[in-house]
Amino acid sequence: MRCLIIAIVLTLAAPSFEAQVFQTPAQITAQWHWYAQTGDNLISDIRPKFRKVLDPEDEALESSLEYEIIITGNINAFAARGGRTILTAGLLQIIDSMATVMSAAQQYNKPECLGSYIDYIAQATQNNNWLVMHNQQPMAAAMAFGYWQISPATCGGLTEATFRANKKADDLRELMIYFSLVYLIGHEFSHHRHHDNLFKEVSSEQRHLDALRGLDVSREVTPSEQIVKEERADLFAFRKMIEMDYPPLGAMPVLVFFVGFEGYSPEQSPNADHPAAVLRFNDMIDATAHDSEFMELIQKHHMDHEWKQFVAFGKQLQGTR
């Protein structure tokens, strides 16, 4: 996820349907600090486990990396230069919210609530991107618990209290948050490993011009080449998840958010620097089907069933719109 997504989503706390109360800026900042702290603890827990499935050279590289969580509502994750991986509190918040809605959809059999939330959050994110680009204030968007209150038609009956009291639902939510972070750590590690972050993204026209001018273009990357780097990072992350005995399906909260953000569209703009999420799923699935080593890895870790679910989910998304 080297994608530069400037999506700003603020939290909306809605204690009752009639009186929606927006959080104050101080409360919002306090919440981002909480996400940063929680994220930091989870990442510190995951990294030593991740190192166990790396070869000695990669293990040394992983140990040298630093993680930084930025206190902002922007949603982003990327491998920066100097061995730093940057995540934002906004990304952790959205992962939490998606994991909550996905877990509830599964445990309470409310797929329509999940679908409407994906649409809602995608719309809110796109609107906010537009507002920010035009120097206007972004609007507040509801996180899972707030959304349930403002959407009785599709999410009726779901409340924060009942969800938290349901241990199975709460555990599934935590697992999905954990697996989403494992995926992110694996994905960004692949960018560090291949020095993807040392490249500057330019259009193919620009690179052509630079070459004509006699400039060094060996560190320039075109959008289509960047997509190859993204796919390599995805595949690496999923491979490592399987080696850790974690089902890639568990990383859905972060993946589905990006699918929703792109409106389920498998079409890709010519200048997209990362594959449209639906394509990303399906390209990855196709790539693994032809990768006998990967399929053997799945069998070795007894994940055939989980992998089939993942494949079915990808196909389902492709046919959604």
Q: What are phi and psi of 262, to 5 degrees?
A: -90, 15
Q: What pairs with residue 8 in β-bridges?
A: 74
What HEC string does 38-64 produce?
Answer: HHHHHHHHHHHHHHCCCCHHHHHHHHH
Single out the segment in contact with Zn ion by CB under 5 A; choices: 1-9, 37-45, 49-57, 250-258.
1-9
By beta carbon distance, the residue nearest Zn ion is: 2
Q: Which stretch binds Zn ion (CB under 5 A): 16-24, 46-54, 214-222, 232-240?
A: 232-240
- Give whichever of 151 and 190 is closer to Zn ion, judged by the CB atom: 190
x/- contact string, 163-192, with Zn ion (CB under 5 A)?
A: ------------------------------
Based on the shown chain and the rule CB under 5 A, indicate whether residue 1 belongs to the binding site for Zn ion.
yes
Residue 2 contacts Zn ion per CB under 5 A: yes
**Residue nearer to Zn ion on the CB measure, 85 or 149:** 85
Within 13 Å and on the Cβ side, how many CA atoms surround 239? 21
Q: Give the CA angle between residues 197, 203, 209 to the nearest 5°.
A: 110
Does residue 95 touch Zn ion according to CB under 5 A?
Answer: no
Min dist. Cβ of residue 196 to Zn ion (A): 7
239 binds Zn ion (CB under 5 A): no
Total binding residues for Zn ion by CB under 5 A? 4
Query: 321: burial class by Cβ within 10 Å (0-12, 13-18, 19+)?
Result: exposed
Give counts: helices (H), strands (E), the chain. 14, 7
By beta-carbon proximity to Zn ion, the closer residue of 176 and 254 is 254
Strand spans (E) along 130-258: 200-201, 220-221
Question: Going residue by residue from 141 to 160, which x/- string records binding to Zn ion, judged by CB under 5 A?
Answer: --------------------
Residues forming the site for Zn ion (CB under 5 A): 1-2, 230, 233
